Amino acid sequence: MSNSRDQILMRIKQALGDRTDDSDDKIVREYNQKSNLSAEEITGLFEERVNEYRAVTKRITEDELPGELQKLCEDAGVKTMVLPTGINESWLSDLSEPVTLLRDQPDRLSKQELNECDAVLTGCFLGVAQTGTIILNAGPGQGRRVLTLLPDFHICVIRQNQIVRMLPEAIRKLDQTVSESGAPVTFISGPSATSDIELNRVEGVHGPRNLHVFIIN
Amino acid sequence: MKKGSQPTFEETAGRYIENAQLRWNIGHATRTIRDKRQLVVQELDDWEELREAGRQIKQKVMNSLDRYLLQLEKSVIKAGGVVHWATDAEDANRIITKLIKEKKETDVVKVKSITTDEIRLNRALENEGIHALETDLAELIVQLAGDEPSHILVPAIHKNRAEIRELFKDKLNLKELSDEPADLAEAARLYLRKNFLKANVGISGGNFAIAETGTVAVVESEGNGRMCTTLPEALITVLGIEKIVPEWKDLEVFMQLLPRSSTAERMNPYNTFWTGITEGDGPQEFHLVLLDNGRTNVLADETGRQTLHCIRCSACLNVCPVYERTGGHAYHSVYPGPIGAILTPQLRGLDDKSAASLPYASSLCGACYEVCPVKINIPEVLLHLRNRVVLHRKKEGGFRQKTDPVHLAMKFLARAFAKKSRYERLQKMGRTAQWFYEKDGAISNLPGELSKWTSIRDVKPVPDKTFREWWRER
């Protein structure tokens, strides 16, 4: 095995011949990295772009969230809802029978249990307006990756101040996550989809088929 | 694969062109994606700056590929992963088989990965009694049909819904099934969900690997990528050594370039980035297999080297007038289209007749270069490879090659074009000789070897007075 390693490294050295050191090679980054949109414009754009993926968005105040959650569960027939560690408990105050809450602590939920759940409720790390993307980094209120994968309905709560305009801004904010904690990062842009059959877009192949985003002003 | 065991492009392209259903499917697909791509690319006023940054980053990586590989190795190990190096397909397949056997598994789940198609991993595993289940919808269709992928992004684009319905009914044992794409996708969802839940080993490719942090990215739409990289206890990722980018920050460039060029979306539904192992979240064992398999040969060619910048978006396939008519199968490679025409011959070497025919599968229109998100000058590499193919043939061909009519004709023309007096004398000779073949101002019927040229196009005769003659008279 180490033999293959030496061979590959040797072939690369031979292939490159007498190259020059690249340590001074500066990448010219003249693409847009910041924007001057107001918070309100950014939120509007985020909402529009998330909707284009056929995900549902709703702008509400934090006080309205518990009532909205209860109503959504009723309308969508959600009976069981998964909650990640560190979820904001005040969001849950209006949830009552028949919705059963399943917590991923102190014992982790099994794959089978998660597979049988109707929905999952999470917060998120960031939103990106330009692309209509929600970013999870396994922080509090987001939990393990599998929680947002097996249930068929993902309800995500995002605060207006978590939304950035452009992808480069988001990537830079994630730098610490990746470089220091090494936590996994997931980008979610609308529900799971495929265009594999005659290029017809079908929502929902393997991931959650429904994505609902509450934007808190 | 035995060298030269595949047909050349010319040998089978005609057959694919005659298949009307196939042409309709591919034509419809490529037109749809390229129109959509145009819209999402136009939306960005900094697209050219992004392309240039993408090109520069990749060039920087190639210039110090060994250093970045060692840095990646170090970061992955630090994050709890294991790194393996594979010189070729056989080497990689042996490593992966061994890892799976150590876990005593006979079934594994797989995310779509062209790199694993390139090394024929599924077949190698099958020979060892391990079944690798493809979980991307299109790859599943191709696998169930015992077929080959025909497009980088949408591998089953050559099949229509009726064909897929019959296939699923037969192979997934379904009595009732409509041909609605939503129902077909649902059938696949149910079938694959069971398998996801019980799989202990997942296999994936990777779109990017960050040298600085050891982070690997899988970019996808369906969620099968998330399933395979999250649910199993162990994850094995096969990565071509050219897929490295130096820093996390570089993804701000590639995560804009790739989705818009590939699926023609602002962002594809799911992207997963993992850094080694995270306790309590996802696989607790991670193996990264770094694959050469001819890539260092590509690196050794200064003009061809840029081929390694490719991020496998498939935008060049969708604009190519040749691909649009023949589809992917005519290329007899897992890398079809313009990028395949330059990558395949370099990976397999020019002794492989099938691969060596690919640089000619182009009209050199240049559309591929224009859409390439990392500015690979595909026409430049195509011409360069044509030249290499000729030189290679001359070197290998011996006496027979030296007396080959095409070779002799080219040599003759090169001499004729080298000097003004020779060129003009040849024009005069042509004017005399052509009277026999000229008809209604065109020559469409040349004799012998030259008939190959006129069998599909007319040649303009030498005019009564050439421009130079006319000029001199004034």
**Given pLDDT bands bounded at 50, 70 and 90, which one contains residue A106?**
confident
With residue B220 as reference, give the H or E element that holds it: strand B215-220
pLDDT over 50 (residue B1): no
With residue A83 as reference, give the H or E element that holds it: strand A80-83
Question: How far is Cα B315 from Cα B309, in angstroms, rounded to an integer?
Answer: 14
pLDDT over 90 (residue A132): yes
pLDDT over 80 (residue A19): no
Question: How far is Cα B72 from Cα B95, in angstroms, rounded to an integer?
Answer: 19
Question: How far is Cα B295 from Cα B382, in angstroms, rounded to an integer?
Answer: 17
Residue with tokens 């690919």: B358
To the question of domain A54-216 being in CATH 3.30.365.10, the answer is no
User: Chain B residue closest to A8 (CA)?
Assistant: B87
**Given pLDDT bands bounded at 50, 70 and 90, which one contains residue B405?**
confident
- CB within 8 A of B49, min separation 6: which ones? A29, A30, A31, A32
How confident is the model over B381-395, as a mean pLDDT?
A: 93
**pTM score of the predicted model:** 0.93
Looking at residue B86, what DSSP letter applies?
A: E
Domain ranges of chain A: 54-216
**Given pLDDT bands bounded at 50, 70 and 90, which one contains residue A21?**
low
Question: How far is Cα B101 from Cα B104, in angstroms, rounded to an integer?
Answer: 5
Instruction: Tokens for A184, please give them.
Output: 């996994």
- Which has the minimum average pLDDT: A131-140, B1-10, B272-281, B375-384? B1-10
How confident is the model over A62-80, as a mean pLDDT?
A: 95
Give yes or no for a contact between A132 and B268, defined as CB atoms under 8 angstroms apart: no
The beta strands (E) that lie in B249-295 are given as 270-275, 285-291
pLDDT over 90 (residue B54): yes
- Which has the minimum average pLDDT: A8-22, A29-43, B129-143, B190-204? A8-22
pLDDT over 90 (residue A208): yes
3 state SS of B289: strand
Q: Which residues of B fall within a CB distance of 8 Å from A16?
A: 63, 65-66, 299
Distance from CA of B313 to the nearest CA of A (A): 15
- CB within 8 A of B359, min separation 6: which ones? B341, B342, B345, B382, B383, B385, B386, B389
Q: Could you report the per-residue pLDDT of B177-228, keeping only the tens digit for each?
A: 999 988 999 999 999 999 999 999 999 999 999 999 999 999 999 999 999 9
Q: What angle do CA B275, B250, A167 make, to 5 degrees?
A: 95
pLDDT over 60 (residue B2): no
Q: Is the minimum CB–CB distance between A85 and chain B shorter than 8 Å? A: no
Residue among A9, A199, A205 minimizing CB distance to B222: A205
Give yes or no for a contact between B238 and B231, defined as CB atoms under 8 angstroms apart: no
How confident is the model over A101-115, as a mean pLDDT?
A: 92
Instruction: Tokens for B429, please give them.
Output: 């000779």
Give bridge partners of residue B131 from the DSSP assignment. Answer: B107
Question: How far is Cα A65 from Cα A35, in angstroms, rounded to an integer?
Answer: 30
Q: Which residues of A fall within a CB distance of 8 Å from B52?
A: 28, 30
pLDDT, greater one: B396 or B465 = B465
How confident is the model over B387-402, as a mean pLDDT?
A: 83
With residue B140 as reference, give the H or E element that holds it: helix B137-145
User: Chain B residue closest to A11 (CA)?
Assistant: B296
User: Chain A residue closest to B56 (CA)?
Assistant: A27
Residue B412 identity (one-letter amino acid)? F
- Cα separation values, B106 from A89, B133, B143, Å: 44, 11, 17
Closest by alpha carbon to A115, among A70, A84, A82? Answer: A82
Instruction: Tokens for A40, please give them.
Output: 């309100």
First to last CA, chain B: 64
Q: Is the minimum CB–CB distance between A110 and chain B shorter than 8 Å? A: no
With residue A193 as reference, give the H or E element that holds it: strand A193-194
How confident is the model over A46-51, as a mean pLDDT?
A: 97
Mean pLDDT of chain A: 92
Which domains does chain B show, CATH number per domain? 9-296 (3.40.50.10420), 418-473 (no CATH)
Residue among A12, A145, A197 minimizing CB distance to B181: A197
Give yes or no for a contact between A49 and A39, defined as CB atoms under 8 angstroms apart: no
Q: Is the minimum CB–CB distance between A176 and chain B shorter than 8 Å? A: no
Phi, psi of A124 (to 5 degrees): -160, 175
Cβ-based neighbour number of residue B48 at 10 Å: 12
pLDDT over 90 (residue A56): yes
pLDDT over 60 (residue B4): no
Phi, psi of B438 (to 5 degrees): -70, 135
Give yes or no for a contact between B424 and B416, defined as CB atoms under 8 angstroms apart: no
How confident is the model over B80-104, as a mean pLDDT?
A: 98
Distance from CA of A63 to the nearest CA of B (A): 30
Question: How far is Cα B234 from Cα B276, in angstroms, rounded to an integer?
Answer: 11
pLDDT over 80 (residue B271): yes
Share of chain B above pLDDT 90, in %: 76
Question: How far is Cα B323 from Cα B22, in angstroms, rounded to an integer?
Answer: 12
pLDDT over 60 (residue A55): yes
Q: Which residues of A fall within a CB distance of 8 Å from B189?
A: 204-206
The beta strands (E) that lie in B29-116 are given as 82-86, 107-110
- Cα separation values, A101 from A95, A117, A141, A153, Å: 9, 10, 14, 14
**Given pLDDT bands bounded at 50, 70 and 90, which one contains residue B399?**
confident
Cβ contact (<8 Å) for B63 and A146? Answer: no
Give yes or no for a contact between B190 and B140, defined as CB atoms under 8 angstroms apart: no
pLDDT, greater one: B399 or B232 = B232
How confident is the model over B1-5, as a mean pLDDT?
A: 51
Cβ-based neighbour number of residue B440 at 10 Å: 6
Question: How far is Cα B231 from Cα A112, in angstroms, rounded to an integer?
Answer: 11
Alpha helices per DSSP H over B146-294: 161-171, 181-198, 224-230, 251-262
Give yes or no for a contact between B103 and B200, defined as CB atoms under 8 angstroms apart: yes
- Which has the minimum average pLDDT: A39-53, B10-24, B247-261, B356-370? B10-24
pLDDT over 70 (residue B118): yes
Closest by alpha carbon to B353, among B42, B6, B15? Answer: B6
